[in-house]
Amino acid sequence: MADGPRRRIGIDLGGTKIEGVVLDDAGRPVVRHRVATESSRGYEHIVARVADVAAHLRRAAPTTTVIGVGTPGAVSHRDGTMKNCNTTCLNGRNGRRLREALEAAIGTAVHIENDANCFALAEASAGAAPARGLVFGVILGTGVGGGIVCNGAVRQGPQHIAGEWGHHCIDPAGPACYCGQRGCVERYLSGPAVEAHYAAVTGRARPLADVVAGFRSGEPAARLVLDEFLDRFGRALANVIDILDPDVVVLGGGVSNIDELYTLGRQAVARYVFNDELRTPIRRHQLGDSAGVIGAALLT
Ligand SMILES: [Zn+2]
């Protein structure tokens, strides 16, 4: 098969799955491949799984010399190890540098970027916010992340934490977080956080979709839980808008499919933003689950 010189490979290394894509020179996916991460089997196993995905994709792009990889955390500028990954075995307490391990296993250069930054880049380039200016991309899923794209480029920052709103505190007396702080945005706006809140109120575990259905049918406990969720969303996003005043906010991740975020959630943002109106568009993702992997490919 002919290999166009501008084919690009992206891989999204998640806690449960590793997904890869080859984009053609127009940015369209031509090959996709997905495997389970099997993260409980540890660091070397994950590296080997990513290398397997890369080998599969390179058959459709054999002359590719650099591969983009999205990860839950970020590369530390201090020593090149990973930090802030919720797949914690990837983090660099042992001094291992994931990029070097992947380059050795794959045989190409590797560019690593935070998965929320990949999401924001993809939606700013080809999705819900194809605009110049400043795009704030939010992932509301099993975790909460954020990424800033300015004039088409990811803003990393000198500490590689730009956009990381998931672990900023909106209540110092709030629930404890794995990061060591209390009351992080992630502890209120992630899917597991909403489900845990519902279980604490009712003594019953229900999946998020059922809690949303209960909210719509007027179930008191579901209303209490989702009213607080939407209020916390408003407060947390208003903080970001006050500081960045982005041209567009785009929401991704499974929790972003709750329609009320774009109506009641938006009203909550307007309540807390430091302005007499809220002009900021708050849009739903357009690339779905593919945004992360497409953004990873766009890094190259
Ligand atoms: Zn935290």
pLDDT in tens, 143-172: 899 999 999 999 999 988 999 999 999 999
- Sign (positive/negative) of CA torsion 43, 162, 257, 211? positive
Phi/psi at 61 (5° precision): -150, 60
What amino acid occupies position 124? Answer: A
C-alpha of residue 247 to centroid of ligand 1, in Å: 27
**Across 220-230, average pLDDT:** 98
Cα gap 12→122, rounded to integer Å:
12
C-alpha of residue 168 to centroid of ligand 1, in Å: 7
C-alpha of residue 183 to centroid of ligand 1, in Å: 7
**Nearest CA among 62, 57, 69 for reference residue 4:** 62
Pairing mode of beta strands 66-71, 282-284:
unpaired
C-alpha of residue 184 to centroid of ligand 1, in Å: 5
Residue 184, beta-bridge partner list: 169
C-alpha of residue 33 to centroid of ligand 1, in Å: 32
C-alpha of residue 175 to centroid of ligand 1, in Å: 10
The encoded tokens of residue 85 equal: 């990954």
C-alpha of residue 86 to centroid of ligand 1, in Å: 10
Q: Would you say residue 249 has pLDDT above 50? A: yes
pLDDT at site 289:
83
C-alpha of residue 171 to centroid of ligand 1, in Å: 11
pLDDT exceeding 90 applies to what percent of the chain?
78
Residue 2, judged by CB atoms within 10 A of its CB (0-12, 13-18, 19+), counts as: exposed
C-alpha of residue 276 to centroid of ligand 1, in Å: 31
Q: Are residues 20 and 11 in contact, defined by beta-carbon separation less than 8 angstroms?
A: yes
pTM as predicted = 0.91
C-alpha of residue 105 to centroid of ligand 1, in Å: 32
Q: Would you say residue 60 has pLDDT above 50? A: yes
